[in-house]
Amino acid sequence: MNLLEKRRGFFSNDVLVAVILVTMIFVVALYAFKTNLGALSSESRMLEKERNALSAADALVKELVAEKDGAFVKSHEIDLGKIAQARERFGKAVKSIRVNPETGGGGICVRRIALASGKEIFIEVCA
């Protein structure tokens, strides 16, 4: 048997190991990507909620429930009667709007301080 016959159909051990290693790296990469994608998606949802709560709370104290004197908006001076109306405006983007909450609300919450009838109040917006 000459050298050529001997090598016909021969698959080197080195190639086999290389293929196994490449497959292994590919599987690890795929697993890492899948795991990271899940974490990223979850973090992204949290950030979206936090942004909603921040925007809603800011809009509330600066405009939506602020007292008005003609066209002049009195930022941080709250008309508590307007809160229920403002709640409907945010729809599903906001879970709850509470004034001086005793306990923490569910979800991502943002707490702001404002004045109502000359007294400090806390407005908590949860998304």
Partner 1 sequence: MKGIVFTIEAVLSLAIALIFVSYAQPALSGGYGALKLYQVAQDVAEVSVKNKQTVNELNAFLEGSLVAKKSLEEKYSRISRGLGYCVEIDLDGKKISANCFGSPSMRASAERIFFDGNRFVVLSAGVGTNYAGTKST
Chain positions contacting partner 1, by CB under 8 A: 13-14, 17, 21, 25, 28-29, 32-33, 36, 40, 43-44, 47, 50-51, 54, 57-58, 61, 75-77, 100-102, 104, 110-115, 118-120, 122
CB-nearer residue toward partner 1: 88 or 105: 105
CA angle 101, 107, 110 (to 5 degrees): 55
DSSP E strand stretches across 4-127: 66-69, 72-78, 96-99, 109-116, 119-126
Q: How far is the CB of 111 from partner 1 (least distance, A)?
A: 6
CB-nearer residue toward partner 1: 64 or 114: 114
Q: How far is the CB of 52 from partner 1 (least distance, A)?
A: 11
The C-alpha atoms of residue 115 and residue 123 are separated, in whole angstroms, by: 10
- Site of tokens 């925007």: 55
